[in-house]
A and B are shown apart, each in its own frame.
Chain A
Amino acid sequence: MLYLSVEKIRTSAYASFTDTISQTDLIVGSRTSSIQLLLYSVFRIGNATNNITWESYEDIISREEVKWSVPISLGDSHKGFRVMGTTDEYFTRYKYRGGQSLEIQNGEHLDDLYDVVLGASVTEKLGYKIGDPLIIAHGLSSFSKHEDQPFKVSGILKKTGTPVDNTVIVSLEAIEAIHVDWSSGAKTPGLETPIEIIRQMDLTPKNISGVLIGVNSKLQIFKLQRWVNEYSEEPLSAILPGVALQELWRVVGVVENVLIGISIVVIFTTLIGMTAIIFSSLNERRREMAIWRAMGATPTVILGLLMLEAFIVSFLSSVISTIFLFLLLIILQPWIDQTYGILISIEMFSVDELSVFVYFILAALLISLLPALRAYWLSINDGMTIKI
């Protein structure tokens, strides 16, 4: 049962992982490795090595292949959660788990310049309600805050089980706005532009961290990717999210092997335990075996009986564990989904999983040969004398 649970969690974790982003054809960022680009643009881990200029962005989206694009801008944080500047389109274009869109649980999308939309985990941990004020800190772990420009919570997203849950979303313009008086990563002393004036400024960003892109036709993905990678104005990278996710999973996948290893050890322990029990009950059963023998049962029958017992035990335990697993899944599935964002699919076993049962039962039979053979010899030698 443990093996199967681990197996279920493993495949579901993998599915959830690869479902983190879907229906996005390309992610563009400054020149970097595909895993790193994926990590910061989707998983909000690590930093962009460099930014893309707004001009490059406009160049890219003016290509005929591009159907839609969502610019994102990263770099600031709020109490440990990443702040992401983007456009309203993010809410409709970003898809996870095979095409699900982000949904607002409470409140509404970004409307005002100083609106923020919070991911579900952010709200859970920090306890924000709609309308609460919120200050964004500069950088990821700095003490300087954009105190002069407070934000207001306008919406809270539903739980998705993706990194979006841990994200504070603002508009691209807001990111630009809070950095009006800053240059080279520090606030210019003495300069403090009033909010009213900022609101009237042109807040088109000069830089962004990355772009999510959808193309008109899948056939154009590679053409666009090559074009971006060969872009002459500045060094850029375009990656296919699916491919990068696979690469990343290969790194994370070590954990997967550890899980499989643990479950195999568990299976062996179970089998050894069962054999030990049969062995220890052999002595009590010598009387019983003598009775069988006296009735004319051959030692082979005794051997068969013990193996039949092992078969029944292992078969029943397989059936019972299956029932338990499904009950457990049915009970825990919503909770796991809510808490860890892993959607464990409740479906019949795959051929692979069924073959686990077959191997388990075969292994049980094989290992029960040990006590059964001992019983065989005992029953030959005991004859009528039952030495107790």
Chain B
Amino acid sequence: MDAKLIKIDSLNFHWKKNSDFQLSVPSLTINEGEKILLLGESGSGKTTLLSLICGFISPLSGNITLGNTSIDELNAKNRDRFRADNIGIIFQQFNLLPYAKVIDNILLPLYFSKKRSSRLDNPYQTALDLCSSLRLPEQTKNMKASTLSVGQQQRVAVARALIGNPSLVIADEPTSSLDMSARKIFLDLMFSQISENQSTLLMVSHDPSLADHFDRTINIEDIIERSH
């Protein structure tokens, strides 16, 4: 369990249009199977860091290694493929294609990743199993995603992030749009499912009270270096 999944080394980045904002991460390591909470105020660079790890954007200098792959060395197309193969993503909200059926939303990542779909004998059944473990009622599978409650939608997003066993799940404040009780149910379900899949979780939040659920909490202020 001590193998390193994410390794960041002297990372530097700033947005082209907004040169005031600079992000420097001298060093960060996350082990396989860890559940990490990344804490930080809004505007502190959490989401930018996630975008870098996911390979949406590439750093100006420094290295990001996921597993055995240096994603900063991949071109844009290969980064997209790598993301499709290895990372499940859960957004704050509006995770689903509103016009598509729940089941199609869950199966969507498999269209972009042969690797993930090849891990499954019967993707449809796996999707249904994920639904039931996440306590989504049986009949929701054929409903349009937009007709579900926000809590249900977020759970569908978890199912989608986990299908095909990506090694890393990244969640960007997935609970911020949920009330307290829904938040607890959601987190419990998500955690048990991620543990079952043996995935690594990197979740971003500004809410320190969530820290109890996680193996480790990283405060973003501790890992970044402000240059100004």
A145 at interface (Cβ–Cβ under 8 A)?
no
Measured in the bound complex, the distance between the Cα atoms of B71 and A365 in whole Å is: 35
Known: A296-B81, A296-B84, A296-B109. A384 touches B89 (CB 8 A): yes
Q: Is the CB of A383 within 8 A of B76?
A: no
Closest to B50 in A: A384
Question: A115 to chain B: closest CB distance in Å?
Answer: 74
- Knowing that A295-B112, A382-B56, A384-B172 touch, tell me 20 more A-B residue pairs with CB under 8 angstroms: A290-B91, A291-B94, A291-B96, A291-B97, A294-B89, A295-B84, A295-B108, A296-B81, A296-B109, A296-B112, A297-B84, A298-B81, A299-B76, A380-B76, A383-B51, A383-B54, A384-B47, A384-B50, A384-B89, A386-B91
Q: Which of A295, A299, A380, A383 has the largest number of chain B CB atoms within 10 A?
A: A295
A187 at interface (Cβ–Cβ under 8 A)?
no
Contact bitstring B78-105, A, C-beta under 8 A = 1, else 0: 0011011100010100111110000000
- Return chain B residues, CB-CB under 8 Å to A299: 76
Measured in the bound complex, the distance between the Cα atoms of B95 and A295 in whole Å is: 11
- Which residue of B50, B56, B95, B172 contacts A293 across the interface (Cβ within 8 Å)? B56
The count of A-to-B residue pairs whose CB atoms sit within 8 angstroms is 56
A385 at interface (Cβ–Cβ under 8 A)?
yes
- Return chain A residues, CB-CB under 8 Å to B112: 295-297
A152 at interface (Cβ–Cβ under 8 A)?
no
Measured in the bound complex, the distance between the Cα atoms of B113 and A88 in whole Å is: 85
Measured in the bound complex, the distance between the Cα atoms of B98 and A295 in whole Å is: 15
Contact bitstring A273-303, B, C-beta under 8 A = 1, else 0: 0000000000000011011011111110000
Known: A287-B94, A290-B91. A295 touches B54 (CB 8 A): no
* 23 pairs, A vs B, C-beta closer than 8 Å: A288-B98, A291-B91, A291-B97, A294-B91, A295-B109, A295-B111, A296-B81, A296-B83, A296-B84, A296-B109, A297-B80, A297-B84, A298-B77, A298-B80, A298-B81, A380-B76, A382-B56, A384-B50, A384-B54, A384-B91, A385-B47, A385-B48, A386-B94
B57 at interface (Cβ–Cβ under 8 A)?
yes
Measured in the bound complex, the distance between the Cα atoms of B56 and A293 in whole Å is: 8
- Return chain B residues, CB-CB under 8 Å to A382: 56
Measured in the bound complex, the distance between the Cα atoms of B77 and A26 in whole Å is: 75
- Return chain B residues, CB-CB under 8 Å to A298: 76-77, 80-81
- Which residue of A291, A296, A384 contacts B113 across the interface (Cβ within 8 Å)? A296
Measured in the bound complex, the distance between the Cα atoms of B76 and A299 in whole Å is: 9
Known: A296-B84, A298-B77. A385 touches B51 (CB 8 A): yes
Known: A288-B97, A296-B83, A296-B85. A383 touches B57 (CB 8 A): yes
Contact bitstring A363-388, B, C-beta under 8 A = 1, else 0: 00000000000000000101111100
- Return chain B residues, CB-CB under 8 Å to A384: 47, 50-51, 54, 56, 89, 91, 172
Measured in the bound complex, the distance between the Cα atoms of B54 and A290 in whole Å is: 12
Closest to B77 in A: A298
- Tell me if B's interface is mostly helix, strand, loop or mixed: helix
Question: A11 to chain B: closest CB distance in Å?
Answer: 42
Q: Is the CB of B56 within 8 A of A383?
A: yes
Interface residues on B, range: 20 to 34
Measured in the bound complex, the distance between the Cα atoms of B56 and A382 in whole Å is: 8
Measured in the bound complex, the distance between the Cα atoms of B89 and A383 in whole Å is: 12
Binding site for B on A (CB under 8 A): 287-288, 290-291, 293-299, 380, 382-386
Known: A291-B96, A291-B97, A383-B51. A296 touches B91 (CB 8 A): no
Measured in the bound complex, the distance between the Cα atoms of B83 and A293 in whole Å is: 9
Measured in the bound complex, the distance between the Cα atoms of B172 and A384 in whole Å is: 9
- Return chain B residues, CB-CB under 8 Å to A295: 84, 89, 108-109, 111-112
Q: Is the CB of B56 within 8 A of A296?
A: no
- Return chain B residues, CB-CB under 8 Å to A385: 47-48, 51
Binding site for A on B (CB under 8 A): 47-48, 50-51, 54, 56-57, 76-77, 80-81, 83-85, 89, 91, 94-98, 108-109, 111-113, 172
Measured in the bound complex, the distance between the Cα atoms of B99 and A291 in whole Å is: 13
Closest to A379 in B: B56
Question: A43 to chain B: closest CB distance in Å?
Answer: 59
Q: Is the CB of B51 within 8 A of A296?
A: no
Known: A383-B56, A384-B54. A296 touches B47 (CB 8 A): no
Measured in the bound complex, the distance between the Cα atoms of B56 and A299 in whole Å is: 11
Measured in the bound complex, the distance between the Cα atoms of B176 and A19 in whole Å is: 76
Measured in the bound complex, the distance between the Cα atoms of B83 and A295 in whole Å is: 7
Measured in the bound complex, the distance between the Cα atoms of B117 and A295 in whole Å is: 13
Measured in the bound complex, the distance between the Cα atoms of B55 and A380 in whole Å is: 11
- Return chain A residues, CB-CB under 8 Å to B47: 384-385
- Return chain B residues, CB-CB under 8 Å to A290: 91
Measured in the bound complex, the distance between the Cα atoms of B145 and A288 in whole Å is: 13
Question: A342 to chain B: closest CB distance in Å?
Answer: 45
- Return chain A residues, CB-CB under 8 Å to B57: 383
- Return chain A residues, CB-CB under 8 Å to B80: 293, 296-298
Closest to A382 in B: B56
- Return chain B residues, CB-CB under 8 Å to A386: 91, 94
Measured in the bound complex, the distance between the Cα atoms of B47 and A168 in whole Å is: 88
Q: Which of B80, B96, B97 has the largest number of chain A CB atoms within 10 A?
A: B80
- Which residue of A291, A296, A380 contacts B95 across the interface (Cβ within 8 Å)? A291
Measured in the bound complex, the distance between the Cα atoms of B84 and A295 in whole Å is: 5
- Return chain B residues, CB-CB under 8 Å to A287: 94
Closest to B112 in A: A296
- Return chain B residues, CB-CB under 8 Å to A293: 56, 80
Question: B166 to chain A: closest CB distance in Å?
Answer: 10
Closest to B113 in A: A296
